Chains A and B, each alone.
Chain A
């Protein structure tokens, strides 16, 4: 309720002693309040019900009342309206009553005898407190309504894309700076756009809403994406010029894709976003190139899209840096987080740590009619320098954490078989392929195919490989303590094992238990 500033604040006085009640009524009226009086808790409740607690600005109650105590009434008031301040009047030195009153949630207490001056000051203070608390409650309700609106706006996926596009969205505050827009041009052609306004505060949320409106309007008006991007950049530059020296200017990181059902290439624009990730039909993960600067940084921008080849690829992931930060906080790979969260109805439940930024991520199935479960979905993709060979135990602990986070206990005891194989493969890649050098990197990828119940591991190193046929050698591995025992162990423990690219790529599969 919004109170009229011109109206006298209403004070409810609860006092059974007529002399005290008359004194408080007169004193408060003299101080500019409108006073309602009750001589018991029952009559005070009845009176509150008649006038409505929302019309009352403070309650003054004696502690000692017939039948119920003053604190019992204060408890009831707080249950009905947590913002309404109450004052308890006690006898002198009644310490236990003071403690009881504080526990009941009173705003203040006064010891008898109460003076006119004391009463006026404390009641004015209580009235102001009620006003501020009610304003706070109203503001929170407004922000929560905005949060619901933002949550629903940012996960709306057009019907035709519902089987192909999954969205993970969580704003840091009620109003987030990240946003997600889809637009259908007809005939199965879509634009998907993700934005990330700099900053984490409500101002970012406001600017985000502004740009969402601009972009939706531009697309509805059949504007080309390139034109809309140019318009965004100019708007941000103008805003930056108008800002005072102390104000931080706003920038917009943005990743947009434009694609049709028969297109061989997706058109992609990336301004300051984390590079998107492509997953091939076989489960290989490839990072797309880094984008340009965020919008608002440069006077002139190139709005030419970068083509992404569809053929051979099944999945495309785009996400804000909030996802990477949160994965770092949890000490896991961001794909483990995405794999689990995109499957969960309430992914945030039970987590010990909270994100420190807005999180927005999408997964797009590039093959329109292919069920997601038939694709390999990544749960880890990491590059390690050759020098990491010295920290293989820490790496192994990280692999275990990521696999367990994504798959729970679906590997059972075979988790250790898997860890041995990854360890052997990575030691081989870091020692031989990377030669222990800080300049050379090996790439570990782990992905899962739910239809086949298969976990696939790729280990790629930058070495030259070998001229001999490793598979033949492994088949004839009679001297078990020989040079290739590690690879022999992988072959023995995994369900499928092959080497590619002259041995610079190891590929092995493990069976995982079906979900549920």
Chain B
């Protein structure tokens, strides 16, 4: 199930591991959250949460600091994930550094459904 702490799943756009001490499922997104990536991100996160189970963590920390952009498909995916987490009595913490993503997340109202941690970082990619 886990190798070097990483939860195995298909695809390479996303990886995750559980921090049992802090009760967190840490998931890192490697690229932008746009229409082309969303199918793989959806599948990957589903596999990671299923593999991790729901017993050892309380919050899903979705680290999107590598992402520069999010589009409407990406927002739709995040909405769907927050609903799924809520059904399982979990919370989503969204870490972002791109002002462009911050603006879209705010506009879409997602900041009211997740805990948003935004620290601006100059985009280098």
Which A positions have Cβ atoms within 8 angstroms of B?
A: 392-393, 413-417, 419-420, 423-424, 427, 480-481, 485-486, 488-489, 492-493
| Complex Cα spacing A434 to B118, Å | 37
Q: How far is the CB of A414 from chain B (nearest CB, A)?
A: 8
- Known contacts: A413-B100, A416-B98. The answer to whether A489 contacts B79 by CB under 8 A is no
| Complex Cα spacing A416 to B108, Å | 17
Does B23 sit within 8 A of A, measured CB to CB? no
**Which of B99, B104, B123 meets A489, CB within 8 Å?**
B104
9 contacts between A and B (CB under 8 A): A416-B99, A416-B100, A417-B100, A420-B70, A420-B71, A480-B108, A481-B75, A493-B104, A493-B107
Instruction: Verify B100–A423 contact, CB threshold 8 A.
Output: no
Closest to B98 in A: A416
Instruction: Verify B107–A488 contact, CB threshold 8 A.
Output: yes
| Complex Cα spacing A481 to B107, Å | 11
| Complex Cα spacing A66 to B79, Å | 90
Interface string of B85-125 (1 = CB under 8 A from A): 00000000000001111011001111000000000001100
Q: Which residues of B contact A413 (CB under 8 A)?
A: 98-100, 122-123
Interface centre among A416, A419, A424 (most CB of B within 10 A): A416
Instruction: Verify A392–B35 contact, CB threshold 8 A.
Output: yes
Q: How far is the CB of A246 from chain B (nearest CB, A)?
A: 53
Instruction: Verify B36–A485 contact, CB threshold 8 A.
Output: no
Main secondary structure of the interface of A (DSSP, over half): helix
Instruction: Verify B108–A485 contact, CB threshold 8 A.
Output: yes
Closest to B100 in A: A416
Supply 16 further A-B pairs (C-beta < 8 A) apart from A416-B100, A480-B109, A489-B108: A392-B36, A413-B99, A413-B100, A414-B100, A417-B103, A419-B69, A427-B71, A480-B108, A481-B79, A481-B108, A485-B72, A485-B75, A485-B108, A489-B71, A489-B72, A492-B103
Q: Which residues of A contact B101 (CB under 8 A)?
A: 416
| Complex Cα spacing A489 to B102, Å | 12
Does B66 sit within 8 A of A, measured CB to CB? no
| Complex Cα spacing A424 to B104, Å | 12
| Complex Cα spacing A420 to B98, Å | 12
Sort A-B residue pairs by CB-CB distance and give the 9 closest, nearest first.
Answer: A416-B100, A486-B72, A492-B107, A485-B72, A480-B108, A417-B100, A481-B79, A393-B36, A413-B99
Which B positions have Cβ atoms within 8 angstroms of A?
A: 34-36, 68-72, 75-76, 79, 98-101, 103-104, 107-110, 122-123
Closest to B108 in A: A480
Instruction: Verify A427–B35 contact, CB threshold 8 A.
Output: yes
Q: Which residues of A contact B68 (CB under 8 A)?
A: 416
Q: How far is the CB of B37 from chain A (nearest CB, A)?
A: 9
| Complex Cα spacing A427 to B72, Å | 10
Q: Which residues of B contact A416 (CB under 8 A)?
A: 68-69, 98-101, 123
Q: Which residues of A contact B75 (CB under 8 A)?
A: 480-481, 485, 489
Instruction: Verify B123–A424 contact, CB threshold 8 A.
Output: no
- Known contacts: A413-B123, A486-B71. The answer to whether A420 contacts B79 by CB under 8 A is no
Q: Which residues of B contact A415 (CB under 8 A)?
A: 123
**Which of A414, A419, A424 meets B72, CB within 8 Å?**
A424
Q: How far is the CB of B94 from chain A (nearest CB, A)?
A: 15
Q: Which residues of B contact A427 (CB under 8 A)?
A: 35, 71
Q: Which residues of A contact B110 (CB under 8 A)?
A: 480
**Which of B69, B109, B122, B123 meets A420, CB within 8 Å?**
B69
Q: Which residues of A contact B79 (CB under 8 A)?
A: 480-481
Instruction: Verify A420–B100 contact, CB threshold 8 A.
Output: yes
Q: Which residues of B contact A392 (CB under 8 A)?
A: 35-36
Q: Which residues of B contact A486 (CB under 8 A)?
A: 71-72
Q: Which residues of A contact B108 (CB under 8 A)?
A: 480-481, 485, 488-489
Q: How far is the CB of A493 from chain B (nearest CB, A)?
A: 6
| Complex Cα spacing A485 to B77, Å | 13
Q: How far is the CB of B92 from chain A (nearest CB, A)?
A: 15
Interface centre among B72, B99, B104, B107 (most CB of A within 10 A): B72
Instruction: Verify A485–B76 contact, CB threshold 8 A.
Output: yes
- Known contacts: A424-B72, A481-B75. The answer to whether A489 contacts B36 by CB under 8 A is no
- Known contacts: A416-B123, A481-B79. The answer to whether A424 contacts B71 by CB under 8 A is yes
| Complex Cα spacing A392 to B37, Å | 11
Closest to A486 in B: B72
Q: How far is the CB of B70 from chain A (nearest CB, A)?
A: 7
**Which of A423, A481, A492 meets B71, CB within 8 Å?**
A423
| Complex Cα spacing A112 to B118, Å | 82
Q: Which residues of A contact B69 (CB under 8 A)?
A: 416, 419-420, 423
Closest to B36 in A: A393
Q: How far is the CB of A180 from chain B (nearest CB, A)?
A: 42
| Complex Cα spacing A419 to B34, Å | 11
Closest to B34 in A: A423
Q: Which residues of A contact B35 (CB under 8 A)?
A: 392, 423, 427
Q: How far is the CB of B106 from chain A (nearest CB, A)?
A: 9
- Known contacts: A392-B36, A416-B123, A481-B79. The answer to whether A489 contacts B107 by CB under 8 A is yes
| Complex Cα spacing A343 to B9, Å | 51
Q: How far is the CB of B82 from chain A (nearest CB, A)?
A: 11
Q: Which residues of B contact A492 (CB under 8 A)?
A: 103-104, 107
| Complex Cα spacing A480 to B108, Å | 5
